[in-house]
Structure 1
């Protein structure tokens, strides 16, 4: 059996890793692969945001162009209705002219709403407002003069050419607004293209580093496997040598027996050391490729790995949740906690004497950062309950998430375990879990309240959504 694994310090952990064959170059390669994965993830989110902004810019430019075209058509329709009434005297053109002027004003307002927040574009649009008002007033005056019999005045206004000048000026201003929107769209398209190229390069680099880490893990395993084979060969040689000694030196049987015993002790010690190295190498392989070893014999090491896996699962599960979510910035907290607790149940509450882990969560949504903090808190509190609440048996652990007012939520993790008797002290661990819980609570801008009783422990906190 290998020596028990105890994490006392980073120096101790590094010494045990060195004994398994890990050097600084290997560690640097692993860290580089991990950093590359984080960079690929961040750039992928950035690229997705750039593509989303590009899509929004395309739609916005299209809407602006359509609104400008509709306004121009309404102005032209008003002028056409004015000329139709002036030439034919048909009063049906009066209603058409009024509707066209109304639609032109409404179209202008629609363009203004689309350009809200863009001061430069609004300035261009407002510069054309006086031209629009003058043109619509001129059209209304021509119609009014014609309707009241002042045809000479009406024709004079039409022949002055001022209406055509106003229409050309308005079209020019509208074209400037449309061109500015198109120029910004081109800038966003270039930014999205740059993001895609950077994402491709980083993805390629991350893949290469992951393959290198996998190759390093295979190399470590192969080297230790070769050590095992060599140890077995040495043991066989030692046994053959001992057998020859027994045959040749019968009178030294007692001494030969002691020599065999010593040889066997050496062989067993060698095998124990080989097994120790193999265990360390498998733990490194499991850490580098994110596969949790489920064959560790040491209980403390197994619990530490399970707790680490729970923390990693609490963070990795938010992403899976965003991808599948249509809204990247918000997470369905109830669905996230349900899936997280299911993972914790499989990893922490397995076996014949398994604990009972349940979750009740109201439908709530919150930001990605708060979801990560809540997930890590739940993982730590559930892990502590499994470790300390039921030391001699297994019982029920309940996770509850409820709404607290309009903008807050309340999280509770409780058990029916041994609790703390009057005058007693809470169970003590390594202190790492408490540090993580306190850090996550600070991220949520709250504190965790513990209520110890003679039966059970309740941990609760209230945080803003």
Structure 2
């Protein structure tokens, strides 16, 4: 019976290991595919933004040429010429961005041709107006000052944007599909690990049972039993001493593991920094830089973790300043940006403290990058305190350029998505607002983040 079970047990172990390895490989491949899909989505957003910019310049040029024909105002003529120069550059950029899509590139070329045709008509009318031939200039543009041509351009741009919307929807669907496959791969890996654990547990249980049976046979005689009791008592005392030492060693290893994780992530961050120097594309360099800073923040959150005597909790006002200092050193060491932190002295679990450190890191890096462009100096204030309702609240305010019209963009990036997901662990939400002192203020209510009362250490119990 046991002979027939052994091959099955070995086969189960081999299949479980193969499932784990296969799922891990699939997860890596699917993760790369998701990243490629996300890059395509970002490219589509940029094409849409360029098309909207071109359309805005067309409307600006139309308004200024109409105003000049009617009023002969020199500033309006200068405004028209400036808008047309920028429009040519914008349309050329749009055509360049659509090189990989022949259909959209043809539409972009059509938009550029229509714009140039309208520009030629307007330039001819302006020349007549400058020569004092106002009636001929007005007649050359028609009763609506070329509105018909502008409407045709608008329709063509709308068609272009509609195609981009369709492509964006398809890419979003593809991203969702890849995420589903990632989930399946992860669950498959977990299932394989569970089967492996069950097989090993059964094997260990049989081995322990055999040992127990052997001990029962050895304890059949009274004298042997008494001797075994005495020996066992001594062994237990030694085991307790060893267990105490092992507990201290395991606790030290747990703390060391956080440092090792942090150091490993710091190594990954350094490798990304090296890779950035070998990349010529500004977009790729920016993406690698963002990934490097984000990994550096997570690394700091782990490396700076110093647990209390109970080896389970950490003081927020002792842990977070070191994380904030690392962020300043890695992202703003050569800039005149002051970071002032006011943190309430509370005890948090190691997991909650690490998550809070990552949230603060993401928001602080976001402020450094967006609030102080062009080496601008300023200050970032970080407050963690209880409100009147005893709910912990995190507020990060800067004295930078402020939200202006960038709020939607800042609140829809990957960093903000990460912050939203992490805050949901504490039933929290992120609110962006204008800082009364200038700049931007980000407030996060964290009702699910509760203080943990530290347990007394084993030494105190004794």
Normalised-by-shorter TM-score class: 0.3 to 0.5
Normalised by the length of structure 2, the TM-score is: 0.46
Larger Rg: 1
Higher relative contact order (CA 8 A, sep 6+): 1
Normalised by the length of structure 1, the TM-score is: 0.45
